[in-house]
Chains A and B, each alone.
Chain A
């Protein structure tokens, strides 16, 4: 099962390596990991996407909680939540492809944020499958470069992860 785990962690040097080291040392799997400081600069928020049986996920959350720098851990996927990922795609956009590329970007509510004679950079947000669908919808040979942030997630409604 795929789980999205959100972590509030002290914004200290080496905090990321404590988390990533834990995953590799205990043979837990990481599909994606994002991290950045929160509105309180002393805290960072991490979102980790992992897969595993219920027992494995239980161990992951327990082991994360055991890290001294970790303030809070929540398995977002246990209840209603929103997940988003940002992707930047650089595509060839010349000749007949140029208009088509713009149209598909519009359909996916992507934004073109860089333009040259022959290329576009398209910015796209959504869940992972939407980003995948976009890549499937355009001509693969036109993709020059992609970069994805990995999933960020937040609980819906009253579910709040805060100190």
Chain B
């Protein structure tokens, strides 16, 4: 059957069983929107800014393991989307972004709303395409979905000129696809896995370091099985939180710049380290030279070979799909006659418990001023630890990561790699679309929330009962912390002035607003928000301590064991 390009786009999305498209219409995508209007197989979510469309699709994917889909127009539609695309790219989130382009004959003419979309997005996508012939459209979209989800996932953009969407051709959606230039790896090298098993069994001070790859590949159960079989300590990166249950006794907390004392000390002092879907980035291991000072054997499992031996030398690289590799590791361990030496392991745990004794996350909650950590702890209690938590970027992000104990994967949604302020609210929207019955809270700050505050309108339109936990300290808190610690207390432009009345602002959108100023009111207010206002969006403006800092802290360029602890100040 002959279909127009616009019809083909819609049919492809239907074939891919897309539930939601997050987007914003404009001139070059009008034919597509016209066809979208005529169908009811999937829904369109109209955002108020294209950046939010991509963030929402991103969180839809992160919280569900489905592919997020966005639709934006040419020129400013695309450039607005770039921050969202780069955010998803840094955290390896599978998205398909469809962008309109000016008609083929206009490309390169500096036409109205024209930009070099493929050029602008090239460095922040897994791959992108410009469709120049309507006959290539279906196969290109098929490729986009395939590339986005396989291997190390990532965003794929398909740029479609307007005239293509109005031309006709025969529609045939391929069932499968093979590309000679793209063959994602599956199972890991069994020789390497054997070596890893040997190394793990001989370890005296072992450590399991698990990252976002565990979440992306749905490998958390397999990771837990392996960790319990071995009885070794586990730490998670910021992106890996929820990949191992935070309430488990083998868990040492998050590691890295704001990791716990015990996680960082164990990471630094272990003799065998197994890295599972993690990439040793600068916020995790600090200074690589300092990290290398204590010799340790490293086993590194990752689906992306370029993540291996990029920042640290690795003894046993294993390139493969995490669930497959973890399965085989477990199988070989079961079959092996060797077991970890229990006495040495007990000594290692004793050392770790001593480190735990530092209680590096403790803080003091007085009677007058609300401590931000306290709000997150109460949020954890009130939601029974079972909510989806999105965050923006800054101090509040770290406190949410430190004090909300995630037992399940895909519950913690934040921008770890790019560190994009403004993701929190659109992330909460995306989560709620993917999990229509879930409790969703967005932990944010008064600066971050204002970067996509217009989405309060989208949330109203789609009746999304998000709870916004605004830790309002009237500062760009993390900037202020660095200025205090490293720039002689000169708080250059980090004071957030001229704030709106968030209660009235929320109410003006038809939401519920609350202002909480005293510690004693924190818990009752949260209970009210999550029970009485269960079905409302509640903007909770907590006035918090302006001087609170995130501890422990490994200063940039310092070694992991050179932490600044709260008590030392």
Cβ of A13 under 8 Å from chain B: yes
Nearest chain B CB to A54 CB, angstrom units: 10
Are A68 and B127 neighbours in the complex by a CB distance under 8 Å?
yes
A42 and chain B: residue at smallest CB distance: B180
B304 touches A66 (CB 8 A): yes
Q: Is B387 an interface residue (CB 8 A)?
A: no
Q: Mark B95-138, 1 if CB is under 8 A from A, else 0.
A: 00000000000000000000000110011001100101000000
Q: Contact: A70 with B181, CB < 8 Å?
A: yes
Taking a contact as CB atoms under 8 Å apart, the answer to whether B127 and A17 are in contact is no
Q: Could you tell me the distance between the alpha carbons of A155 and B305 in the complex, rounded to whole angstroms?
A: 25
Output the nearest chain B residue to A25 by Cβ-Cβ distance. B123
Decide if A71 is an interface residue (CB 8 Å cutoff): yes
**What are the residues of chain B within 8 A of A68 when measuring CB–CB?**
126-127, 147, 179, 181-182
CB neighbours (8 Å) of A157 from chain B are: none
User: Cα distance A13–B116 when bound, in Å?
Assistant: 13
Chain A interface SS verdict (over half): helix
Count of chain A to chain B residue pairs whose CB atoms are closer than 8 Å in the complex: 38
Tell me if B305 and A62 are in contact (CB < 8 A): yes
B306 and A66 within 8 A (CB): yes
Interface contact A59-B180, CB-CB below 8 Å: no
- The size bracket of the interface on A is 20 to 34
Question: In the docked arrangement, what's the CA distance between A25 and B122, Å?
Answer: 11
Flag whether A14 is at the interface (Cβ < 8 A): yes
A58 at interface by CB-CB < 8 Å: yes
A158: Cβ under 8 A from any B Cβ: no
Q: Is B310 engaged at the interface, CB distance under 8 Å to the other chain?
A: yes
Chain B residues within an 8 Å CB radius of A25: 123
Q: Mark B54-71, 1 if CB is under 8 A from A, else 0.
A: 000000000000000000
**Hey, what's the 0/1 contact readout for A3-33 against B, CB within 8 Å counting as 1?**
0000001100110011001000100000000
* Chain B neighbourhood of A69, CB < 8 A: 127, 181
Q: How far is the CA of A9 from the CA of B181 in the complex (A)?
A: 8
Closest-CB distance, B181 to chain A (whole angstroms): 4
B346 in the interface (beta carbon within 8 A): no
Query: Would A71 and B123 be within 8 Å (CB), given that A59-B306, A62-B305 are in contact?
Result: no
Q: Is the CB of B127 within 8 A of A65?
A: no
CA distance A14 to B180 in the complex (A): 18
A85 to B395, CA, bound (A): 56
- Sort A-B residue pairs by CB-CB distance and give the 5 closest, nearest first: A62-B306, A68-B127, A71-B181, A62-B305, A68-B182
Beyond the given A9-B181, A14-B119, please list 15 additional residue pairs across the A-B interface where CB-CB is below 8 A. Answer: A10-B181, A13-B130, A14-B118, A14-B122, A18-B122, A21-B122, A21-B123, A25-B123, A59-B310, A62-B306, A63-B306, A68-B126, A68-B127, A68-B181, A69-B181
- Chain B residues packing against A (C-beta within 8 Å): 118-119, 122-123, 126-127, 130, 132, 147, 179-182, 304-306, 309-310
